[in-house]
Amino acid sequence: MKQNITLSLDKQILKRARAFAAERGTSVSAMLAAELRNLIEREAEYSMAKVKALSLLDSPFHLGDRRTANRQDLHERKNLR
């Protein structure tokens, strides 16, 4: 369901917006609706990516090496330097 809103703009901005929209074969209203839709979609994508990134930080990183060193091995390695 669509609903109209009232928007107050400076006359110069409105004049330029009408020309801008006309060049693209659309209306100021349609142009603003599309831009708001894009902003909301990008924000939703960002929020989902943020949740995913934060959940990855909560889990350990696996660097591919399956061997685990014990404390003695690490101590001996340090003494070799």
Domain boundaries, the chain: 7-57
Distance, CA of 25 to CA of 22 (rounded, Å): 5
Read off the pTM: 0.62
**Distance in angstroms (rounded) separating the CA atoms of residues 8 and 10:** 7
Question: What element of type H or E holds 13?
Answer: helix 11-23
CB half-sphere exposure, 79, CA atoms < 13 A: 6
pLDDT in tens, the chain (81 residues): 989 999 999 999 999 999 999 999 999 999 999 999 999 999 999 999 999 999 888 877 777 766 677 778 777 765 555
Cα–chain-centroid distance for residue 35? 16
